[in-house]
Chain A
Amino acid sequence: MSRTFKHFLLAAGMLAMGASAAGAATLDDVKARSALNCGVSQGLPGFSNPDDKGNWAGLDVDFCRAIAAAIFNDPTKVKFSPLSAKDRFTALQSGAIDVLSRNTTWTMSRDTTLGFNFAGVMYYDGQGFMVRKSLNLKSVSDLNGASICVQTGTTNELNVGDYFRTNNLKYELIAFATIDETIKAYDSGRCDAFTADQSQLYAVRLKLTNAADHVVLQQVISKEPLGPLVRQGDDQWFDLVKWTYFAMLDAEELGVNSKNVDQMGSTANPEIKRLLGTDGKFGEAIGISNDWVARIVKHVGNYGEVFDRNLGPATPLAINRGQNNLWNNGGLQYGMPVR
């Protein structure tokens, strides 16, 4: 409650006093305060999770680090704000954060009526269900009549309603404010199923008392393109965030990674030269240094490296690239060309 009210007061104050966040040059603000304010989730292994030393790690976290690396040549100049699903949009609208990188589904209403712009799709996902193995369920329709736990303020809360209604299935949906409470309620047996985007289910499973007792059903009931977003109305900042994402994909596609990036700058390949800033003034066009992509790749890595480090087979999540493979590898990830 207090957090919502804080954000609301912030938003109301800013909107009313005319110190409108929109139109203001976000990049200038970020440079002036020497830190990027980045909204992430409150604890989702693989996406944004503080480790035992209090350092944030994950795919969503690394995206913010990449922006900071591009601007400051220092991936640590980020201030992370952990936000619940419910509070995240108010935080971005009010200007409390510069970018929201928090497994947020790109939907039309969020893009239009909430006043945001989505910069890309960091992770192609779909909504799934986690259940107890002992129930022996095969598909979502086996959940007829079940109690389902969900986090409030998500697309998931709405998709369940659509899916169960159109398929004439009965259900009881219990919506909790934060992820911890949702997990505890499911763990205690209040619900037969936990619903969220599949990637989040894998992460949540790791937090249960006995992860091995639970399975994530194969079936998905929705499209959940998760990506970073910014306030509408600051095109320069929007461009910078969008191209940070494309650059990470392009680097992977061109074989530029954190280990070879220093040598790659001197190749003859014109595409790589443009990407790494040894040719052209692409960084200047978005208000930062021309070697911006070299900084990103050196400090944070290309998209594939970031994916593998946080979600890949070597991690407890062990998620396949699948749809998140590059377009030329059978996936959907497609970086626009730097030229």
Chain B
Amino acid sequence: MTDARLPDSAPARRWSWTDPALRSAVIQVSLAILLIWMAWSFFANAQANLARQGIASGFGFLDNSAGFGITQTLIPYSESMSYGRAFLVGLLNTLLVAVLGIILATVIGFLVGVARLSENVVIRALASAYVEVTRNLPPLFQILFWYLAVLATMPNPRQGWAFGLQPLLQSLANGAASIGLSPLADGLRSLAGDVSGPGVFLSNRGLVVPRPVFEADFNIIFGVLVVGIIAAWIVKRWAHVRREKTGQPFPTFWVGLALVLGPAIIAGFVLGWPMTFEKPELRGFNFAGGVRIIPEFVALLVALSVYTAGFIAEIVRAGILAVSKGQTEAAKSLGMRSGPTMRLIIIPQAMRVIVPPLTSQYLNLTKNSTLGVAVGYPDLFAVFAGTTLNQTGQAIEIIAMTMAVYLTISILTSMLMGWYNKRVALVER
């Protein structure tokens, strides 16, 4: 540490242990070599031992036919397809429940978190009770609760509750006619004609709804919808810039909604709604046709969202409390009402505190989705690390692939949230 060299004489690099940069480079390179060697010998050893024990290895099994059925498949699948295909089916099921769960949990969490700070005692108490109950019951218990307790109250398909889509459309049409919107009423009436008989069934087999079948002309309506979305986005940017400049508010939400839906609805009436409904029908034991949402999915989705929302609510509450009181007071003194104060002043600042812990809740939710195997939800863990592993016995390959998938999902989520966090970070001026 006693370096007597003159400050301006550039030190000549010597091979010496006293050079910290060189020393750390040597140590790091040796550590890396050691790690690679360990990983390699781990792998080679495992390979040799597997061969000696007569256990199959390698990834060839992915092409073999799976042989088992899967209840919920977002892509076409049958037993005669491969384990690789089953892997994809499981992966999509995991992503479906994770993405929808994250959205739902965020919505519930924000509502409850804000409610915990409400001036209203009843709302505050309800929100507190929600947080205490959901956070303190293990997620597996909650999944089983939603599945078994709620499922048990549902009737079987024959006695299932049938909801008529037709009567609903009919009464909507009458309503529209009575306030003078006769084109809308006509459209609704013709829709109602398409869906004769009850179209929606709720039973212990899940929720069955008619499947919309779009004709070619419907693409025009989709096109109009997309244009509307773009227009709404442009208006939002414009309103934002204008507010920054002049401070004038603009009803972005309502104008945006009108821009998105209005033209599409008009186009729909002009084209006479070129679509039909494939109605589910009770045939034997189950429903044929239509779209069915299985109870396993609903139970898992609701349980994961409700559970995670309890944690998110606390994060949101802490985030809001972290914004200094002066902000609220300043907004009040400018005459802002409490709603806009929350939306425009408090929440944007609270986001900086909220986003990092929110990310880890999202990751938890994704990982907890593996508990779905308890209620027979065919996620990646159940289909691949469960059934496929059991049938092929190739634990090393399958667990490695499964871990890689969950790791990738986690890293992508973190990256996305990191990017968002940068956007909401306080811009110091």
Contacts and interface: CB of A to CB of B under 8 A. Distances in A.
Interface of A: 1, 4-5, 7-8, 11-12, 14-18, 20-23, 85-86, 89-90, 93, 109-110, 112-115, 143-147, 149, 152-153, 157-158, 160-162, 165, 170-178, 181, 184-185, 188-190, 192, 231-233
A16 B374 contact: no
A188 B154 CA distance: 9
Contact of B53 (A115, A143, A157): A115
Contacts of B389: 4, 86, 90
B399 interface: yes
Interface in B203-250: 204-205
Contacts of A157: 68-69, 387
Contacts of A90: 389, 393, 395
Contact of B54 (A112, A160, A184): A112
A44 to B, nearest CB: 18
B284 interface: yes
Contacts of A23: 52
B375 A161 contact: no
Contact of A176 (B152, B288, B374, B391): B374
Interface stretch (B41-49, B91-99, B326-334, B346-354): B41-49
A18 B286 CA distance: 53
A15 B71 CA distance: 35
A29 to B, nearest CB: 16
A20 B69 contact: no
B283 interface: yes
B41 to A, nearest CB: 8
Contact of A16 (B42, B156, B204, B378): B42
A89 B386 CA distance: 12
Given A1-B381, A189-B152, A158 B54 contact: no
A304 B1 CA distance: 85
B71 A172 contact: yes
B171 to A, nearest CB: 32
Contacts of B52: 20, 22-23, 233
Contacts of A181: 144, 374-376
B286 A145 contact: yes
A232 B53 contact: yes
Nearest to B38: A16
B79 interface: yes
A230 B50 CA distance: 15
B376 A233 contact: no
25 contacts: A1-B370, A1-B371, A1-B381, A17-B45, A20-B52, A22-B49, A22-B53, A22-B54, A85-B390, A86-B386, A86-B390, A114-B55, A114-B56, A115-B50, A145-B283, A145-B288, A146-B286, A147-B285, A152-B386, A152-B390, A158-B68, A160-B69, A173-B69, A177-B382, A185-B375
Given A1-B381, A190-B204, A86 B283 contact: no
Contacts, number: 170
A169 to B, nearest CB: 10
A8 B398 CA distance: 10
Nearest to B393: A114
Contact of B79 (A112, A145, A161): A161
Contact of B296 (A15, A174, A178): A174
Top 6 A-B pairs, shortest CB-CB distance: A153-B390, A114-B393, A115-B55, A161-B79, A113-B56, A115-B54
B165 interface: no
A185 B144 CA distance: 10
Main secondary structure of the interface of B (DSSP, over half): helix
B295 A190 contact: yes
A7 B151 CA distance: 33
Interface string B60-101: 000000011111000000111000000000000000000000
A113 B285 contact: no
A173 B382 contact: no
Interface in B126-183: 144, 147-148, 151-152, 154, 156
Interface residues of B, number: 56
A278 to B, nearest CB: 38
Given A115-B53, A165-B79, 17 more contacts: A11-B395, A21-B53, A90-B389, A113-B56, A143-B285, A147-B285, A152-B386, A152-B390, A172-B71, A173-B70, A175-B387, A181-B375, A184-B148, A185-B147, A185-B375, A190-B205, A233-B52
A229 to B, nearest CB: 12
Interface in B238-297: 283-286, 288, 295-296
Contact of A177 (B148, B373, B396): B373
A143 B286 CA distance: 11
B53 A93 contact: yes
Given A113-B392, A145-B285, A162 B45 contact: no
Contacts of A162: 67, 79
A145 B386 contact: no
A165 B65 CA distance: 14
B399 A8 contact: yes
A170 B387 CA distance: 21
B390 A89 contact: yes
B200 interface: no
B385 interface: yes
Nearest to B67: A158
Interface string B370-412: 1101111010011001110111110110010000000000000
A145 B375 contact: no
Contacts of A231: 53
Contacts of B147: 185
A242 to B, nearest CB: 17
Nearest to B288: A145
B387 A152 contact: yes
B152 to A, nearest CB: 4
B79 A16 contact: no
Contacts of A165: 78-80
A146 B285 contact: yes
B49 A15 contact: yes
Given A20-B53, A22-B53, A147-B285, A175 B68 contact: yes
B54 to A, nearest CB: 4
Given A113-B392, A152-B373, A176-B376, A144 B382 contact: no
